[in-house]
Amino acid sequence: MQFDRRRFMSTLIAAPILASPAAALLSGVARAAETGALLTRPLRDVELPIIGIGTARRYADPADAAALTPLRDTIRRFAEMGGQVIDTAPSYGRAEDVVGQLVEELGVRDRLFLATKVGANTREEGAAQIEDSFRKLRTDRIDLIAVHNLRDVDNQLAILRDLRAEGRIGALGITTSFSPQYEDFEAVMRREQLDCIQIDYALDNRGAAERILPLAQEQGIAVMINLPFGRDRLFDATADLPLPDWAREIGATSWAQVFLKYTVSHPARPIAIPGMAQVRYVEDNLGAAQGVLPDAAMRQRMEQFIDAL
């Protein structure tokens, strides 16, 4: 997605109070200004809807052309509803290729924010892998590239800084989804100038909130959340349970919306990227980017609920 100042300003006008922590403090909740508007968060010079698509696993290995149909429908519906962020990686099988093909077929490249990763051991390997990502994603600009799980982080960030200076990528960052990496992750956040971090965080997996998310908030680094459901973990934990009454107070009509609204209401103001390969997931999960978000008291209540299961 190229930076479009007019579109950016109109988003700011339409959506700003929505996700502002100050507004949340004043009202107890953040409220969407217009029905259907997606809450947004800044990432460097763009405002992005707070729910994106993760493509690990379900986009990795479509067996044949028929297997592409639900994925195409998913991306089509996502773009129609105003979704923008799609997260992928060279290590997710054929996912970059699949996303590139479907986005091109649908003609929606300019409406999307494409994020991928680099996971390589040397500068040469990293540079070659990134060129492959441009080719597979069928784009001359990638909106964000992050160093996957801190692999060869110093060399890879050096490449990404050059690409950002050339305007070939819009933003750079680092990712992890393993708590044993958190200490090193934090050290990189302190010594580098990052646009974005991506980390695992969920209602029942709150380690990132101890130091990493507060540090991101302090340093003004944008945050993406991977594993917002812990894959099946949260759904399994709540499988036989009706939605609690308090779900209505945050406008959640499904467990998925409860879990997503929890992650994106952290004060670091993250964007969550749940894995989505079905239209019904898009419609459900983008519901979490609308209406009200939990305030601090509600977040505590949600934590107590899940901890008691």
Residues engaged in binding ligand NAP (CB under 6 A): 54-56, 58, 87, 148-149, 175-177, 198, 226-231, 235, 256, 273-277, 281, 284-285
The smaller minimum CB distance to ligand NAP, of residues 78 and 229, is found at: 229
User: Least distance (Å) from ligand NAP to the CB of residue 28?
Assistant: 26
The smaller minimum CB distance to ligand NAP, of residues 155 and 198, is found at: 198
The smaller minimum CB distance to ligand NAP, of residues 1 and 145, is found at: 145
How far apart (Å, rounded) are the C-alpha atoms in residues 267 and 156? 29
Is the Cβ–Cβ distance between 71 and 61 less than 8 Å?
A: no
SS3 198: strand
At residue 110, what are phi and psi to the nearest 5 degrees? -70, -15
The smaller minimum CB distance to ligand NAP, of residues 47 and 284, is found at: 284
The smaller minimum CB distance to ligand NAP, of residues 88 and 139, is found at: 88
Is the Cβ–Cβ distance between 148 and 117 less than 8 Å?
A: yes
The smaller minimum CB distance to ligand NAP, of residues 24 and 81, is found at: 81
User: Least distance (Å) from ligand NAP to the CB of residue 228?
Assistant: 5
E strands in 93-221: 113-118, 142-147, 169-175, 196-200
User: Least distance (Å) from ligand NAP to the CB of residue 189?
Assistant: 15
CB atoms within 10 A of CB 23: 16
Nearest to 49 by CA among 60, 61, 41, 57: 41
The smaller minimum CB distance to ligand NAP, of residues 17 and 279, is found at: 279
Is the Cβ–Cβ distance between 38 and 286 less than 8 Å?
A: yes
The smaller minimum CB distance to ligand NAP, of residues 19 and 227, is found at: 227
CB atoms within 10 A of CB 157: 24
User: Least distance (Å) from ligand NAP to the CB of residue 122?
Assistant: 20
User: Least distance (Å) from ligand NAP to the CB of residue 137?
Assistant: 14
The residue behind tokens 């479509």 is 62
User: Least distance (Å) from ligand NAP to the CB of residue 267?
Assistant: 21
User: Least distance (Å) from ligand NAP to the CB of residue 174?
Assistant: 9
Nearest to 21 by CA among 272, 302, 287, 265: 265
**Length of the chain, in residues:** 309
CA atoms within 13 A on the CB side of 110: 3
CA atoms within 13 A on the CB side of 161: 10
Nearest to 201 by CA among 268, 151, 290: 268
User: Least distance (Å) from ligand NAP to the CB of residue 173?
Assistant: 10
- Indicate the helix (H) or strand (E) that contains 145: strand 142-147
